[in-house]
Structure 1
Amino acid sequence: MIQRILTPTDNSGPSVRAIEQATEIAKSSDATIHALSVIPEMTRGSKAQEEWDERVTDALAKAREIANREGLEYEEARRNGPVAREIVDCAEEHDVDLIVMGTHGRSGLHRYLVGSVTQRTIETSPIPVVTVPPEE
């Protein structure tokens, strides 16, 4: 039975869709939603830090709103560091049963150069990961 679901969020469309999917799964098993927002380790400087702090605050507020609307138990965390590693570490620390995360649908050169947080999470997570594709 699924009791705890981690859903990483950056307030992008795909991450909001993932939160909505996670809440649907959580409703069927009365699971707790754990929302996580990570400030990437490459963020340096006060201006960039302020922008990321605001983005994280907004992302967690949106996740909280969705979980509360559905009447689900909700916990949240914010972290700094390599995003995929922080997702997996948080999932292990909170003994989650499932990670639900969005994909941005990038391909080609952009994906090769930037990489995919979702892909790195899938490759390194001992916990099942459900991916939610972007809207068409």
Structure 2
Amino acid sequence: MRILVALDQSPFAVTVLEKAIALAKTQGATLSIMTVAEDFFDLGDYLDVVSVTDKIFAATKADAQKYGDLAKASGIDAEVVVEQGVSPADLIIAHAENKAIDMIVMGHQGKKGLSKYLIGSVAARVVSHAPCSVLVIR
């Protein structure tokens, strides 16, 4: 079994990772940890998006490495994947399709307030379009 755990940089991400590690252990599964650095190139006319995007990517990559280290300390040698793009949901779905993932584990939290309703829930989109089962941690 191949499990993909999709994490953001929220404090809740560690809880999601812990659940995915426990599931991988009980199922004898391989675990991939994926984080997505959001890309703001569509705002290029208004601000210097290259430096902002580079900083976001670097911070996301550092968090992803911490998640990988946490998995390793728990006895799971996980692959760490960092992507960058406008739609985290689309990148998660594409990765699951390309790598023949059997299950995606992700949290229900993430975007808050008005942006959740304007942009839509990443988890809801993944659940609707994923090529495999999705476990949403609450």
TM-score normalised by L of structure 1: 0.84
Match of 1:75 in 2: 79
SS at match of 2:84: strand
SS at match of 2:61: helix
Moved more, 47-56 or 105-114: 105-114
Matched, 1:5 2:3: yes
Within 5 Å, give how 1:97-136 maps onto structure 2: 97-104=102-109, 109-133=114-138
Q: Offset at 1:112?
A: 1.7
Whole-angstrom CA distance in 2 between matches of 1:57 and 1:120: 23
Which residue type is aligned with residue 71 of structure 2? A
Contact 2:30 2:78 in 1 (8 A): yes
SS at match of 1:47: helix
Which residue type is aligned with residue 15 of structure 1? A
Match of 1:39 in 2: 37
Match of 2:93 in 1: 88
Contact 2:8 2:110 in 1 (8 A): no
Contact 1:10 1:55 in 2 (8 A): no
Change in CA separation of 1:76 and 1:106 when aligned onto 2, cut-off 3 Å: closer
Per-residue CA deviations over 1:96-134 (Å, capped at 9, x if unaligned) read: 11100012176774432131111111111121111112x
SS at match of 1:121: helix
Whole-angstrom CA distance in 2 between matches of 1:59 and 1:125: 24
Whole-angstrom CA distance in 2 between matches of 1:108 and 1:54: 26
Contact 1:37 1:56 in 2 (8 A): yes
The alignment of Structure 1 onto Structure 2 pairs a total of residues equal to 131
SS at match of 1:39: strand
Whole-angstrom CA distance in 2 between matches of 1:107 and 1:129: 21
The sequence identity of aligned pairs, in percent, is 29
Whole-angstrom CA distance in 2 between matches of 1:38 and 1:106: 13
Contact 2:5 2:105 in 1 (8 A): yes
Contact 1:31 1:72 in 2 (8 A): no
Change in CA separation of 1:122 and 1:66 when aligned onto 2, cut-off 3 Å: same
Q: Offset at 1:39?
A: 2.0
Structure 1 gaps, min length 5 = none
Whole-angstrom CA distance in 2 between matches of 1:77 and 1:111: 24
Q: Offset at 1:25?
A: 0.1
Q: Offset at 1:41?
A: 3.4
Structure 1 vs Structure 2 CA RMSD:
2.0
